[in-house]
Amino acid sequence: MLISGWICAEEPEIPVINEWRVRDPVYRQYRKATDIIGQRLFLDRPEQIVESLEFFVYTTERGIDFFTVAAPTSLWTLATLNRLSHPFDRRANRTVLLPTVPGIFIPENPESGLEHLIASRRPEGGIPVTVDGKKFRFFPGKSAAAKFADDEWTLFVSIFNEESSAETLVVE
């Protein structure tokens, strides 16, 4: 939905994935949407990519890790949209927003060191997006601005290693 130049996804309109399994019809809808976006990225049709931006909500289940949830788009896409400072939150029952289009979401007001670094490295602009009441600049697709740079990735992974060195990577 486009409102005043912002693409908005209001909470009641966001479809909910109940199970990370093919038998869940909303999960199938999400996977179909991400597959179509993947094809458009492969064919380099950026104008069709942004038009297809949708959001879904998923609450993590026991045994489903963040890497599995990130697979249809990318790790940096989920990390930036959900404002995670490390690539895995080990808590079950954590609600995450899932976009259908990969890219970088820069919050209107960066808080963490990682968010400040990412924001400082991106050009002005991006696509203004409001999701669940939070405003972002979105850099979609497969350009350099749409993924972590080497030092951003290093910071992201080093924070992860510090916080998870003695813990398992599976949601308990």
How many CA atoms lie less than 13 Å away from 68 in the CB half-sphere?
16
What distances in angstroms separate CA 12 from CA 22, 33, 53, 61, 147, one per listed residue? 23, 19, 17, 22, 29
Q: Is 135 helix (H, G, I), strand (E, B) or coil?
A: strand
> Which residue, among 61, 57, 108, has the nearest Cα to 80 in the 3D structure?
108
Q: What are the pLDDT digits (tens) for 38-81?
A: 777 766 665 667 778 899 999 988 878 778 888 888 888 999 99
pLDDT tens digit string along 94-141? Answer: 889 999 999 999 999 999 888 999 999 998 888 899 988 899 999 988
